[in-house]
Structure 1
């Protein structure tokens, strides 16, 4: 059973108080929604997965995404959502699940990249649609910029998604345009 967007948003607000983490969840959800439409995949599933992918991070960072995975199973959420959330944590807290679906690959490729877009916007406050993909790619290649962003995870996700990195950056920028 996939929750509605409204129910997923309420769940996000019940578990996540940090304004950045809420913003991040909306960014990832919006980017995944764009990818779903682009790839002719279930838009609501991809959006809700993006919205809830870090549901436990604020309260359980040392166990993330373990608690969320347990909740999602108890709540009988779709297996594709559960797999994507598990795979997005590849290399984090000893999680080693590789993406086996387009949704999981897109979440892995998009999650950290949204953090890079956010950091770029903090440095250069312009609309996402006005960001040049080449500028984001340049910052991607500068390890000192947004140093906590794991570029290897983005590259792994892009590899599994089957999209060149430069195209992925352009797609995510375009998909984030509705957020301003």
Structure 2
């Protein structure tokens, strides 16, 4: 296991720490986007995917950005022997940690985290869900301040910029990464969202 934990082990750990189906689906969305970017950059898909899957491991239990998330998860992952590159990427995705984003994986995680959640939120209010979604429709929702109001629109653009990709291309890429998993990501009833 190059990352110090298998995908199955990461999913089991996530389920132990996270009861919320919506948060589990968010972490799956980030995993899917990270795996797609790993393929795009010729990187290790398992390591990138596990990083995406575990990035919010402690958020439900320790949501405080000042002394909880993602610090608690980082300590737990270190304790169980997860690779340093995964732990550091998880730390760097939170602006509050003040860590630089030095690797492509760190920049990709930052770029897809909030955007994946925003794209899924957009899909929830569309009759077709993710099918046929365009960057233009997502950008239109970004202009509506009351829609997914907690999402920092500037951060969405900053993430693409730090990753070195055009924002529209980044949007299209993330939509394409999530669309094949719409059945899991857009499940409306409570239940296990495992793929």
Aligned-residue offset at 1:104: 0.8
Q: Which residue of 1 aligns with 2:76?
A: 71
Q: Deviations over 1:103-155 (max 9, x none)?
A: 11111111101111121112114242421121112222333321111222222
Query: When the two structures are aligned, how many residues end up with a matched partner?
Result: 177
Closer, same or farther: CA 17–141 of 1 in aligned 2, 3 Å: same
Deviates further, 135-144 or 56-65: 135-144
1:123 aligns with 2:125: yes
TM-score normalized with structure 1 length? 0.93
Q: Which residue of 2 aligns with 1:52?
A: 54
Closer, same or farther: CA 43–132 of 1 in aligned 2, 3 Å: same
Q: Is the 8 A contact 2:34 2:112 kept in 1?
A: yes
User: 2-side partners of 1:142 and 1:82: how far apart?
Assistant: 34
Q: Is the 8 A contact 2:120 2:130 kept in 1?
A: no
Deviates further, 76-85 or 165-174: 76-85
TM-score normalized with structure 2 length? 0.86
1:133 aligns with 2:139: no
Counterparts of residues 127-166 of structure 1 (less than 5 Å): 127-166=129-168
Q: Is the 8 A contact 1:129 1:174 kept in 2?
A: no
Unaligned runs of 5+ in 2: 183-195
Q: Which residue of 2 aligns with 1:33?
A: 35
Q: Which residue of 2 aligns with 1:105?
A: 107
Q: Is the 8 A contact 1:129 1:173 kept in 2?
A: no
User: 1-side partners of 2:40 and 2:157: how far apart?
Assistant: 20
Q: Is the 8 A contact 1:129 1:176 kept in 2?
A: no
User: 1-side partners of 2:19 and 2:158: how far apart?
Assistant: 30
User: 2-side partners of 1:108 and 1:153: how far apart?
Assistant: 9
Aligned-residue offset at 1:83: 1.5
Aligned-residue offset at 1:160: 1.6
1:10 aligns with 2:5: no
User: 2-side partners of 1:129 and 1:83: how far apart?
Assistant: 34
Aligned-residue Cα RMSD (Å) equals: 1.3
